[in-house]
Amino acid sequence: MSDSEEEESPDRQLKLVVLGDGTTGKTSLATRFAQETFGKQYKQTIGLDFFLKRIVLPGNLNVTLQVWDVGGQTIGGKMLDKYIYGAQGILLVYDITNGQSFDNLEDWYNVVKKVNEESETQPLVALVGNKIDLEHMRTVKVDKHQRFCQENNFSSHFVSAKTGDSVFLCFQRIAADILGIKLNKAELEQSQVQQKSLRGATLCMQLERECWKATA
Ligand SMILES: Nc1nc2c(ncn2[C@@H]2O[C@H](COP(=O)(O)OP(=O)(O)OP(=O)(O)O)[C@@H](O)[C@H]2O)c(=O)[nH]1
Ligand SMILES: [Mg+2]
């Protein structure tokens, strides 16, 4: 075995399951994180979709995140328990402009609790308020979000799949929490720099598109 092979430790694999009502932006979050893209057009997820993304956490720890993107219509269906089973992390996603999508998270969380009733280890649960680019249309108060987190020991996240704001940070923090790794200020800032460059790239793409439209 060569030196470089000896140094490589095998990737840790984490299963993260993304739950919440239809149109809250679960697929958009997963594609923003895994593929750095965003589509305005809504395409309902039927059943389940998968995304894989490898990230590096402090200490040169390679982690492969398996993101299970569950369709909002699966609640009440036979397959949902199976999708949730074995998850190390659960993202409960709502749309900050849609109060009903926040209220319905209670039902989603009840399914998570039921699936893990007899399990010794419990998944880490993250409450994710999406669409913060639509802050002016917010109907779910931040207080309400924080209270739900405190009552249930959820980690708290606000993101925008559209602009990419805090999306990488959200997944990175969840992975680090699951693995018991503390991210220091510099590492958190680093992930914000990555997002800024991502936003910069998106802006360039938009500008290119505008120019193309103008000249076409
Ligand atoms: N403004 C804004 N729109 C978003 C954001 N995220 C998603 N959307 C839009 O919301 C709509 C629904 O997004 P999806 O990601 O398909 O929603 P979903 O939760 O996967 O829905 P289901 O597959 O039915 O469960 C799409 O039109 C997206 O473009 C966001 O951060 N900001
Ligand atoms: Mg979807």
Q: Which residues of the chain have pLDDT under 50?
A: 1-5, 195-216
- Number of C-beta neighbours around residue 86 at 10 A: 13
Q: Yes or no: say if 19 and 74 are a contact pair by the CB < 8 Å rule.
A: no
Q: Supply the pLDDT for residue 20.
A: 98
Q: Supply the pLDDT for residue 186.
A: 73
The neighbourhood of ligand 2, an ion, using CB within 5 A, equals 26-27, 45
Q: Look up residue 93 and give its two tokens.
A: 């996603």
Query: Does residue 166 line the site of ligand 1, with CB under 6 A?
Result: no
Query: Does residue 25 line the site of ligand 1, with CB under 6 A?
Result: yes
Q: Supply the pLDDT for residue 172.
A: 95
Q: Supply the pLDDT for residue 185.
A: 74
pTM (whole model) above 0.85:
yes
Query: Does residue 160 line the site of ligand 1, with CB under 6 A?
Result: yes
Residue nearest to atom 6 of ligand 1 (CA): 25
Q: Which atom of ligand 1 is nearest to the CA of 40?
A: 29
CA atoms lying within 13 Å on the CB side of residue 90 = 27
Q: Which atom of ligand 1 is nearest to the CA of 38?
A: 29
Give the tens place of pLDDT for each residue, 91-142: 999 999 999 999 999 999 999 999 999 999 999 999 999 999 999 999 999 9
Beta pairing partners, 189: none
- Of the residues 21, 28, 170, which should be mutated to test ligand 1's pocket, given the most ligand atoms within 8 Å of the CB? 28
Name 85's Cβ contacts closer than 8 Å, sequence gap at least 6: 115
Query: Does residue 163 line the site of ligand 1, with CB under 6 A?
Result: no
